[in-house]
Structure 1
Amino acid sequence: MNFRILGAMATLLVAGCGDSDEAPLPNLTAATTSSLASCADLAARLAYPDTSIMAVNAIAAGTLAVAGKPIPAHCQVQGQMHRRTSAVDGQAYAIGFEMRLPLNWNGRFYYQANGGLDGSVLAATGMVGGGGPLDNALNMGFAVISSDAGHGAPTPFFGIDPQARLDYGYQAVGKLTPMAKALIRGAYGKGPDRSYIGGCSNGGRHAMVAAARYADQYDGYLVGNPGYRLPLAAIANIAGGKTYAALASTPGDPSTGFTAAERGLVSRAVLGKCDALDGVADGLVQDTGACQAAFDLNRDVPTCSGARDGSCLSAAQKSGIGALFSGAKTETGTTIYTSFPYDAGFATAGWASWKFSAPSTRDAGAVGLVWAVPPESVAGFDGATFVANGNLGNMLARVNATSPTYPESGYAFMTPPNGSNLAALKHRGAKMLVYHGTSDPIFSSDDTTAWYEGLRAANGGDAANFARYFRVPGMNHCSGGPATEQFDMLTPLVNWVEKGQAPDSVTAGARGAGNAGGVNSDLPAAWSASRSRPLCPYPKVARYKGSGDVEQASSFACQ
């Protein structure tokens, strides 16, 4: 076990509620199909309290496509819930949504949990997992909903309104879910037989929160690279921004604090120590846990004796970067978030964007305006100034604070109330699949590993009969990185929920030249364009069988 996650795991164990019984879990029946003749009279059949249907549009087959394949004909329903004017900031708010209802429906409902700050009603297609997807839930026949989570722009200024904060954190899901099921019933003459929720990043957080708060509403939860403790991750990333700015060779450019050449140097050093731990040197660190014991930044990366030239790290860099990987701290030494695993995916543009740009362009606004109590003033707010001059301890205190105007803290409304107690989900026969890239630069897979260890402990040491966690070696945030990161986890989730087929592995592919889902520019040139690997349920690791083509998943086994 990675010793650096023990502290976080211990916290989860204290918070967890024991559930160690071994009684058989219920088996849920499979969904049955239905059909919708047309969209023409649909508006007249759809009604729900505090909901306005703005438009119903017939979408012809082929208007949307996934991986070059036309999505069948369906109806697009656009609407809003709970329109209001805020008494706090005077702005107009509503929960905007769209639903896409297939003419040929598979009997299932999918809640598409979107990422970032939300604020946009994205096309309701439904992710299946991984980068460059080859399919989506709508194409599979699901009825899918997408929402803006209660505010109409992907900016942090909605955080001044207390209700908009809560809708963003968890209440929009709670309000939209019964409405969506009612609209489905009005359209097809029956409600969904089975309901699923899924997303990546903040969308993964939405799904994880729903597993704790709305266990009675969904049968399957698909959680990708979750921002499980998102406010803490954002503050830790601000701490990183400060560190990289202090190490920068070019003032004002934090990317020069850990250059692309230097990040490539560290990635290669990690590979040198860890690549073969799974039985073969193939450019992937599959035994992430063993790697953390095998690799040492101070020992395994040269220390510069002169100027930095990309072939070494300075002593100051090793100290600052090593401290961030061990777990960022406040000015007084309080741990903010968790550790990050050393992996092989640090040299990518995606990793750099999160580490060097996001602190001032994304994290500052969320920390200062959406989660802080009291929030910063909107007038004149500047993210770069907030990062440069802000006190980390003060940020941490304010995301945990409350007031009469903001009775729920930013941390409370963004996280599951008790993430290791999913007894309600478990005992009704629902299932959960979680995945996380081990080179994620913003939400650490160590945090998700600690969460899952807490879940296992709360269930007699094994939660695999209702929840499984898959680490994705080399993958950055939801996609990219030197990784086999194209996979479908929705299909195995449905098969587990409705057929009782628990996934012992999920096959993932590389997105090389000619890939229908798009090419991953982070792939090493030496890899086959169609490399595949099994993703394994934690704590198992994909290990080489000792013979066979190293480019094929069939040459590896989860052990």
Structure 2
Amino acid sequence: MKRLLALLCTVVAVSALTAPAQAENNTSASDSPQRACSSLTAPRLPGARVTSVTTDIRPAGDVAASSQSPVVRSVPAVCDVTVVLTHPGADDHVTTRVWLPLDTWNGRFQGVGGGGFSASGGESGLAAAVKGGYSAAITDAGVSTDGSTPSAWALDSQGRVNTPLLENFAGRSLHEMAVTGKHLTAAFYDRRTFSSYWNGCSTGGRQGLMMAQRHPQDFDGIAAAAPAANWDRFIPAEIWPQVVMNQAHDFLSPCELNAFTQAAINACDRNDGVADGVVDEPDRCRFNPRALIGERVVCDGTTHRISKADAEAVASIWAGPTTPTGLRLWYGLNKSTPLTYLAATALTPDGARVGAPFPISENWIKYFLERDPAFDTSALTYADFEDLFRQSQREYNKIIGTDDPDLSAFKAAGGKMITWHGLSDELITADGTVDYRKRVERAMGGAQRVDSFYRVFLAPGVGHCAGGNGPVPTDPLAALVDWVEHGEAPETLPASTTTPDSTVITRDLCPYPLHARYSGHGPTASADSYTCRR
């Protein structure tokens, strides 16, 4: 789970269109970086008041690892700007950080997104962007950087939802970060125009979609991977596996859960004509978990027999959330997806196995739906779950749903957007991304028109933002830059992975709804042996 939380909280992003006109600095980095840095001022931000601006020259070197991200080495020297602002009446303090490379700028601005309940990817996100030549910005949105819990900010002193801070987190602070970052970039380099990109995954992916929907002129290009869109639905849906196990009084061990996943992969691996441990189209996998009833599984030296209750629980988890009468509410996990995150269990000191809810989903319910940090989600019935699911939609869709299919303003502004999503994502099912893409097509005149500015690529076997058994996109941001700056729409996204025996597997991910099909000849580990077909 720590790996997934780290991925949720590690995101990089990029943004810039035409820079704001009021670049008040009269000294550019080409003249004197130190003087240009110290004389930078913040832009005017409607609805906000800037309380402080500090600048400093940060020398070249390594950026230390955090609990969220690894160390980033050999980061160039930057002008480090911190802008603090507040929104009158909100009692908030929002910090935006902007790093401006002193002599390695590539002429582009990059916004850096967050993960989980954190709006920011931290200094490591800035460092990765700057190392790539970008000027870069992050915002904390005035909330905690703890991606797993909103306990420090979700409720006010009266126990009510802190709506201004939720609005900051949902999108308001992202726009202010973009305006601030581009203003400072324009002033520091004495450039009026430059390219801008967003590059984020998970919450960072949702942030990218939010910008396309509500602030369509902030970014030229948006790379929104595994987006946490449909937030009001998929976040409560993540507790569904726990509800299923609690209601059945049947808590499967990680070993037993993995047995079901592996059995599904074994049964459906060859559906695409290649035996590679990857299910290319998990929605066409017809494996029935009841086929394992009676099978023995050895876990930590102890033999377990798969029961009917075990199989029924997994079937319900795969099917996804429903009402007590069987009406689907949201999508379930794909059969090739590890179940050990959302269906996690743990042993109590006395040896009993109990559910271990994914903290982001559990805390959404505790703080934003029940408004009670002590609420016990293990007591939820199926009827309770439906009530909470409906409440989440009703109260939060307009604030943070991030599911508006009307991208006409983004298209009119010349924006381009790429989304890729792993089909074995442990946390955010790719079905939500496909659902959104289909709604965009219906709203905007069909697939061909949408492909002209927004493309989706599905990655078989890939987990949340990375990992898994399948090839992971190698540089989707580069593909986005080519599309924005050279008009070269990506026909495929190059992807690769290395197996435990050091075999390098390459694949070209195809734009939805196409799939990479084996040609019948050539090495199955090579992208050259596949073509994009339905």
Give the conservation status (yes or no) of the 8 Å contact 2:101–2:133.
yes
Q: What's 1:148 paired with?
A: 140
Listed as ranges, the matches of 1:507-522 within 5 Å are 507-510=494-497, 512=498
Moved more, 98-107 or 322-331: 322-331
Give the distance between the partners of 2:315 and 2:170, measured in 1 at CA: 32
2:259 counterpart of 1:265? yes
Letter in structure 1 aligned against 2:60 = A
Give the distance between the partners of 1:83 and 1:461, measured in 2 at CA: 40
Give the conservation status (yes or no) of the 8 Å contact 1:109–1:192.
no
Give the number of equivalent residue pairs.
Answer: 474
Q: What's 1:72 paired with?
A: 76
Q: What's 2:24 paired with?
A: none
2:445 counterpart of 1:459? yes
Listed as ranges, the matches of 1:181-192 within 5 Å are 181-192=182-193
Give the distance between the partners of 2:306 and 2:414, measured in 1 at CA: 51
Listed as ranges, the matches of 1:29-108 within 5 Å are 36=30, 37-49=32-44, 50-64=49-63, 70-82=74-86, 86=90, 93-103=92-102, 104-108=104-108
SS class of match (2:61)? coil
Q: What's 1:449 paired with?
A: 434
Q: What's 2:386 paired with?
A: 393
Give the distance between the partners of 1:265 and 1:365, measured in 2 at CA: 29
Q: What's 1:553 paired with?
A: 527
Give the conservation status (yes or no) of the 8 Å contact 1:438–1:471.
yes
Letter in structure 1 aligned against 2:133 = G
Deviation, 1:203, is 1.1
Q: Structure 1 stretches (4+) deviating beyond 6 angstroms? A: 65-68, 305-312, 354-358
Which of 388, 392, 414 in structure 1 is aligned with 2:400?
414
Q: What's 1:16 paired with?
A: none
Give the distance between the partners of 2:377 and 2:532, measured in 1 at CA: 46
Give the distance between the partners of 1:126 and 1:68, measured in 2 at CA: 10
Give the conservation status (yes or no) of the 8 Å contact 2:342–2:358.
no
Give the distance between the partners of 2:283 and 2:511, measured in 1 at CA: 19
Give the distance between the partners of 2:459 and 2:190, measured in 1 at CA: 41
Q: What's 2:485 paired with?
A: 498
CA deviations on 1:278-335 (whole Å, 9 max, x unpaired) are 232111222x1xx433423246x32127999778642222222212222212445453
Listed as ranges, the matches of 1:344-493 within 5 Å are 345-346=337-338, 359=357, 361-370=359-368, 372=369, 376-377=371-372, 381-382=373-374, 385-389=376-380, 391-401=384-394, 409-416=395-402, 418=404, 420-457=405-442, 458-462=444-448, 463-485=450-472, 487-493=474-480
Deviation, 1:115, is 0.9
SS class of match (1:77)? strand
Distance 1:365 1:67, change over 3 A: closer
Give the distance between the partners of 2:72 and 2:504, measured in 1 at CA: 18
Listed as ranges, the matches of 1:119-134 within 5 Å are 122-123=122-123, 125=125
Give the distance between the partners of 1:192 and 1:111, measured in 2 at CA: 16
SS class of match (2:275)? coil
SS class of match (2:447)? coil
Give the distance between the partners of 1:101 and 1:480, measured in 2 at CA: 31
CA deviations on 1:523-551 (whole Å, 9 max, x unpaired) are 5x4x5442222222111111222222222
Deviation, 1:483, is 2.3
Letter in structure 1 aligned against 2:162 = D
SS class of match (1:78)? strand
Deviation, 1:200, is 0.8
Deviation, 1:461, is 3.2
TM-score normalized by structure 2? 0.80
CA deviations on 1:21-79 (whole Å, 9 max, x unpaired) are xxxxxxx99xxxx9554244413222334224453232333334999762322222122
Letter in structure 1 aligned against 2:142 = G
Give the distance between the partners of 1:40 and 1:197, measured in 2 at CA: 29
TM-score normalized by structure 1? 0.77
Distance 1:35 1:494, change over 3 A: farther
Give the distance between the partners of 1:346 and 1:394, measured in 2 at CA: 27
- Greater relative contact order (Cα 8 A, min sep 6): structure 1 or 2? 1
Distance 1:358 1:184, change over 3 A: farther
Query: Sequence identity, in percent?
Result: 25
Deviation, 1:433, is 0.3
Distance 1:411 1:69, change over 3 A: same
Computed over aligned residues only, the root mean square deviation of the Cα atoms, in angstroms, reads 3.1
Distance 1:389 1:450, change over 3 A: closer
Letter in structure 1 aligned against 2:276 = D
Letter in structure 2 aligned against 1:359 = P
Give the conservation status (yes or no) of the 8 Å contact 2:456–2:511.
yes
Give the conservation status (yes or no) of the 8 Å contact 1:112–1:144.
yes
2:518 counterpart of 1:544? yes
SS class of match (1:221)? strand
Q: Which runs of 5+ in 1 are unaligned?
A: 1-27, 87-91, 128-135, 250-256, 402-408, 513-522
Q: Which runs of 5+ in 2 are unaligned?
A: 1-16, 19-27, 65-69, 155-160, 347-353
Give the conservation status (yes or no) of the 8 Å contact 1:112–1:124.
no
SS class of match (2:92)? strand
CA deviations on 1:58-106 (whole Å, 9 max, x unpaired) are 23333349997623222221221216675xxxxx521112111112322
Give the conservation status (yes or no) of the 8 Å contact 1:248–1:258.
no
SS class of match (2:212)? helix
SS class of match (1:477)? coil
SS class of match (1:45)? coil
Give the conservation status (yes or no) of the 8 Å contact 1:302–1:312.
no
